[in-house]
Amino acid sequence: MSDQWSVLVVDDEPPIRAELRYLLEQDERIGRVDEAGGATQAVEKILGSRPDVLFLDIQMPGTSGIKLAETLSNLKTPPVVVFVTAFAEYAATAFELDAVDYVLKPVETKRLEKALDKVAAVMSVRAPAPVAERVMRLSVERGGKRAFIPVSDIVYIEAKADYSGVITAAGSYLVNESISSLERRLAPQGFMRVHRSFLVNLDDVHDVEVSRSGLMELKVERVDASVPVSRRRASEVKARLGLA
């Protein structure tokens, strides 16, 4: 399974599909987003492209979203289903079908984020646990010269397009590797993605500050710097640091 999820939005109203698609594409966990205007088209796309997540309207002409979800439950690995509807009375039926959430229209950004957090919990259980290969040294570049530095020397890493900037007490280096790739490789050694653009060695965090606007920043040892934490990752960061 890729780092990002493929999503299929199923709704018979194009403006609603477009709005939900826009909101989903703002979340870094979402990769490809496709659309279907009804159950028949949805089945074709589900069997063809195997989306990870289905955002499914309940009341549609022809086959309802409830009926479609019942049919999909026969698949070996059905997509994770989030019902999106204007009618609250179907909630009990939806959860009987193992839907991870039930979101009422009009969809608000914060409510959608909560639904995606629930999707993430299911995805983490479905994903096979990788065999972690412990990375001892990292190949870096500085001043046009290549070198190898111990992973334990790294305080934090910052995304720079397809590259990454590695920050140590001895200075900054460039790595020809994306931050998502480094996240996968370094997670077993205590590194955590705290923001779309930042990966932090949690052993270096010595203080946490929260601004008046509610944004969290991590103060890191060995370098005089603060690393921002995205709102979506704040609760997970607190839990990892023993603050929750």
Phi, psi of 119 (to 5 degrees): -60, -45
Task: Per-residue pLDDT tens, the chain, 244 aa: give them.
Answer: 446 899 999 999 999 999 999 999 999 899 999 999 999 999 999 999 999 999 999 999 999 999 998 888 878 888 999 999 888 887 777 667 778 999 999 999 999 999 999 999 888 777 665 555 678 899 999 888 999 999 999 999 999 988 999 999 999 999 999 998 899 889 889 999 999 999 999 999 999 998 877 889 999 989 999 999 998 888 888 888 888 5
Quick one: tokens of 93? Answer: 């039926």
At 127 the pLDDT is 65
At 1 the pLDDT is 40
Task: Give the list of residues 6+ apart from residue 135 with CB closer than 8 angstroms, or none.
Answer: 151, 185, 186, 189
Q: In what order do the strands lie in the sheet with 30-36?
A: 30-36, 5-10, 53-56, 80-85, 101-104
Q: Classify burial at 40, counting beta carbons within 10 Å of its beta carbon; exposed 0-12, middle 13-18, buried 19 or more.
A: exposed
Is the full-model pTM beyond 0.75? no
Task: Give the list of residues 6+ apart from residue 117 with CB closer than 8 angstroms, or none.
Answer: 232
Q: How far apart are CA 12 and CA 164, in angstroms?
A: 42
Helices (H) and strands (E) in the chain, counts: 7, 15
Q: How far apart are CA 148 and CA 177, in angstroms?
A: 14
